[in-house]
């Protein structure tokens, strides 16, 4: 069904950025896109100032709290251009009769690809080696092979499973922690089940995080101290899962062999101790930034917005 006159405020700068399909679908459905003036991610105050007559929001990492939601007098649907909705006050939206949707499953392959890019780059010092060649130094860099190493996967959801499949291809042994995943999922992915998170950190050569934000720090000084000397840690999930000061200290002491991150406690991570740390590989939250993921996420949110505005049930309600 084609609609006209529906104001959709696009907060996510990556919406339709690498695929024309999402905006083409929006045009076909008669939805009107409106860009924000403020630079993403928007604070609650910025969103309140810009929300105006918007009936729908396409959200990235913006602060969509109760105050911002209350400012949207015409708001009917909030669509997360991604999976995690920890930056959206879902309870406040529900209280205002606003539907929240997200896009589960669209970016899991893209994020898993990046995880292995980070893991290989960190283990084999690829960035440093490149810089050495460019500088004419021809330095040699030593690093571990992945084959035979134990990868601890924290969170065996869609992304965790994709990581497990790639890890098997590299000949790694797998230990996973996820208290909510059924036993058959561990078996299907060839991963031993860790019932205790501390045990996973203590026994793994490399650990990768794939849990949503919970409001509590998962990797702190105590848990870092459990890790094998020289172990590697990858965080392509949420920045607040990790105590960045503790990670920097563990890197400085040599306890932690390396840290790679695509998510930070504050983005961009201005002033983070990680910026001055050694043996780090840092990327600007680009896990979902592929052409295929961009198309799948964008088209999904557009179609779910259209469904809600048309009085139909969306495919991916939160």
- Domain parsing of the chain, residue ranges: 6-105+290-309, 108-282
Mean pLDDT over each residue of the chain, to the nearest integer: 95
Selecting among 223, 285, 295, 303, the annotated active-site residue is: 285
Q: What is the pLDDT of residue 186?
A: 98
Is there a catalytic annotation at residue 292? no
Q: How far is CA 150 from CA 111, 181, 183, 282, 304, in A?
A: 20, 20, 20, 23, 40
C-alpha 128 chain-centroid distance: 25
Q: What is the pLDDT of residue 83?
A: 85
42, two tokens: 């928007």
Query: What confidence tens digit (pLDDT) does each residue in 144-178 have?
Result: 999 999 999 999 999 999 999 999 999 999 999 99
Q: What is the pLDDT of residue 1?
A: 44
Selecting among 34, 267, 312, 315, the annotated active-site residue is: 267
pLDDT > 70 fraction of the chain, expressed in percent and rounded: 98
Is there a catalytic annotation at residue 267? yes
Burial 20-33 (b: 16+ CB within 10 A, else e): eebbebbeebebeb
CATH superfamily assigned to domain 6-105+290-309: NAD(P)-binding Rossmann-like Domain (3.40.50.720)
Ranges of the chain whose pLDDT falls below 70: 1-5
Q: What is the pLDDT of residue 4?
A: 56
In whole angstroms, what is the distance from residue 224 CA to residue 204 CA?
12
C-alpha angle 137/141/146, rounded to 5°?
A: 150
Q: What is the pLDDT of residue 43?
A: 97
Phi, psi angles (nearest 5°) of residue 85: -115, 25
Q: What is the pLDDT of residue 212?
A: 86
Q: Map tokens 């991604």 to a residue.
A: 82
Q: What is the pLDDT of residue 5?
A: 66
Is there a catalytic annotation at residue 285? yes
CATH superfamily assigned to domain 108-282: NAD(P)-binding Rossmann-like Domain (3.40.50.720)
Name beta bridge partners: 317. 101
Within 10 angstroms of residue 156's Cβ, the number of other Cβ atoms is 26
Q: What is the pLDDT of residue 213?
A: 83
Q: What is the pLDDT of residue 2?
A: 45
Query: What confidence tens digit (pLDDT) does each residue in 32-44 have?
Result: 999 999 998 999 9
Q: What is the pLDDT of residue 141?
A: 95
In whole angstroms, what is the distance from residue 318 CA to residue 204 CA?
34
Per CATH, 6-105+290-309 and 108-282 having the same topology is answered yes
Selecting among 238, 244, 295, 303, the annotated active-site residue is: 238
Q: Are 50 and 11 spatial neighbours (Cβ–Cβ below 8 Å)?
A: no
Q: How far is CA 315 from CA 33, 74, 98, 300, 305, in A?
A: 21, 22, 15, 8, 10
């Amino acid at each position: 069904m084609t609609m006209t006159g529906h104001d959709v405020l696009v907060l996510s700068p990556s919406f339709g950025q690498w695929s024309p399909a999402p905006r083409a679908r929006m045009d076909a459905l008669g939805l009107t896109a409106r860009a924000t003036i403020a630079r993403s991610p928007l604070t609650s105050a910025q969103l309140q100032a810009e929300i105006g007559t918007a009936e729908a929001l396409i959200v990235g990492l913006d602060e969509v709290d109760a105050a911002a939601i209350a400012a949207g007098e015409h708001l009917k649907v909030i669509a997360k251009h991604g999976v995690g909705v920890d930056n959206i006050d879902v309870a406040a939206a529900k209280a205002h009769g606003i539907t929240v949707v997200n896009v589960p499953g669209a970016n899991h392959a893209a994020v898993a690809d990046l995880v292995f890019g980070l893991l290989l780059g960190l283990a084999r010092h690829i960035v440093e080696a490149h810089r050495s060649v460019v500088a004419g130094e021809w330095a040699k860099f030593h690093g571990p092979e992945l084959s035979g190493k134990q990868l601890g996967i924290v969170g065996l959801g869609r992304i965790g499973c994709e990581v497990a499949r790639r890890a098997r291809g590299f000949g790694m042994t797998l230990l996973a922690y996820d208290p909510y995943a059924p036993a058959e999922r561990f078996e299907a992915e060839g991963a031993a089940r860790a019932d205790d998170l501390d045990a996973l950190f203590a026994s793994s050569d490399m650990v990768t995080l794939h849990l949503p934000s919970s409001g509590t720090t998962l990797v702190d000084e105590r848990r870092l101290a459990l890790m094998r000397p020289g172990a590697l840690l990858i965080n392509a999930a949420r920045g607040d899962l990790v105590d960045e000061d503790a990670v920097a200290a563990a890197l400085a002491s040599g306890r932690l062999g390396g840290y790679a991150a695509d998510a930070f406690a504050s983005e961009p991570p201005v002033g983070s101790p990680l910026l001055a740390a050694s043996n780090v590989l840092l990327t600007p939250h680009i896990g979902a930034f592929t052409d295929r993921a961009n198309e799948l996420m964008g088209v999904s949110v557009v179609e779910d917005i259209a469904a809600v505005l048309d009085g139909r049930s969306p495919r991916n309600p939160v």
